[in-house]
Amino acid sequence: MQDKVKEGGGRPWYRVAGSKIWYFFNSLKLTLFVLITLAVVSIFGTVVEQNLPVEEYLQKYGEKWTSFILTARLHDMYHSYWFLALLAMLALNIIVCTFERFPPKWKALLNHKSEKFDARLIEKFANHHTFDVAASPEAVKERVVNAFRKKKYDIITSGGGGEFRLYAWKGRIGRLGSDFTHISLLLILLGAIVGSFAGYKDFRAVFVGGEMSVPKADFRLKLDKFWIDYYDSGQIKQYNSLLTVIEDGKEVMKKQIWVNEPLYYKGIRFYQSSYGTAWNRVSEAEIAVQTKGRTEHGEPMLVKWETLTPLAGTKYSVKLIGYAGDFAYDEGTNQVFSKSAESNNPAIHLEIYDGDKLISTPWLFLKYPGIFPAIPNADEDLVFTGYKGIMYSGISINKDPGTNIVWAGSIVMGFGFILAFFVYHRRVWVVVRESGRSTEVKLGGMINKNNLVFEKELKEIVESISSEKARG
């Protein structure tokens, strides 16, 4: 039939194509290419901050480079189609290499019919010994079995009468070290992909006494306390937050966190990552009454946040309703904001009442007193003389459901490394045959690594078989 056109020695075209695809993914060159490419592009993922607003990329890199970053998905690299394609290629490469090498290796490890061998091959091993023992073949065979068993070898025997053949082995599981490593890489890749799509990272700044919402969760966090520990030299030793988990209106968990000691709840980790003073709120401010036209002012008094406070010696009351650490004004939107988190230009926003009547809502500046009159059509004015800031704690939020998979992969990888580097597969073939009045022993074998250890062990086994103690 026409749809079964054959190529390459009569094989169907789809088998030829399948073989080529299999060979492509079984290539060491592909492994090196993908690993090097992942290492190089990871540099871009580190240099280019991920998932920022487009405006920040424009400000940092300009329009031309921002266009390239967005087109190449470098701003969200770990979710880009090309990065996922590289991970998929690496996964397929690992799977194909494992299936290519594992079945024949496993079959060879389980096949112990190695007593059927040519005795002449023993002398071709790098490690071999030929010696005579003044004992019967049966007795020598028993010595050989005992000597290998003392060294923790498994051994099988065959033959009888004047000739015996023995095959001994140990550490065969060490040959599977690379396969366990392959499996561990697949688990780590799977965990990374699961975490990338099902997890998230976020950040919240929460004030002492305040609460914060948790993304994609049915509970909230409250910051009960924040404090800083210092060394005797005055340097910061550690900063701490006391957090309470609130679920369904109830406090269900309380924990103190600090750097490298997170709170873990319902698969989400909360890390202490920063701290600072609020740029849009204070706990209290100091203001003083000043007669217009004079430079001196009266005794400062404290005004608490959102609390109506009478001004001593006047008919007015004030309420502190706003604060900007680095005052800025947007004429387009008529909005006041803090252009940075630093206290470069502190300003407070007040409501001033004459009795129950709101008469003014001025902004007062710490560095520029009297720049705007606070109380209209009055001889008194107000000046801003100081404030007490509110500390906030910067909490990093991290949900990564792939973490346990990655940990499982890491454990499997550690086990694979132990097998690969510390468990040696030893195989020894022995022929015991009658030779006149004595018995000849031919013994030789191989090891997959660490030949010096194997050579020493074989010498000890030969001495054990030949020794007078063994004869008894």
Distance CA 143, CA 462 (A): 10
Sort 58 into a burial class: Cβ within 10 Å, 0-12 / 13-18 / 19+. middle
Give start-end residues of each CATH 3.30.310.80 domain in the chain.
112-171+424-471
Give start-end residues of each CATH 2.60.98 domain in the chain.
182-278+394-405
- Is pTM, for the whole model, over 0.95? no
Q: Which residues of 305-334 are buried (b: 16+ CB within 10 A; e: fewer)?
A: beeebebeebebbbbbebbbbbbeeeeeee
Copy the structure tokens of residue 444. Answer: 């030789």
Residue 334's pLDDT is what?
A: 87
Q: Which fold has domain 182-278+394-405?
A: Tick-borne Encephalitis virus Glycoprotein; domain 1 (2.60.98)
Residue 108's pLDDT is what?
A: 66
Q: Are 313 and 378 within 8 A, CB to CB?
A: no
User: Interhelix angle for 28-47 vs 81-110, to 10°?
Assistant: 140
The predicted-structure confidence for 9-33, as pLDDT tens digits, reads as follows 567 776 778 788 888 888 888 888 9
> At CA 80, angle to CA 78 and CA 84, rounded to 5?
75
Q: What is the mean pLDDT of each run of 10 residues along the chain (472 residues)?
A: 51 76 84 88 84 78 87 85 87 85 72 66 91 93 95 91 91 88 89 84 87 92 93 91 95 93 94 87 91 83 93 91 92 87 90 93 92 86 91 90 91 93 92 91 91 94 78 45
> At CA 411, angle to CA 407 and CA 413, rounded to 5?
110
Residue 472's pLDDT is what?
A: 43
Residue 13's pLDDT is what?
A: 74
Q: Architecture of 112-171+424-471 per CATH?
A: 2-Layer Sandwich (3.30)
Copy the structure tokens of residue 399. Answer: 């949900």
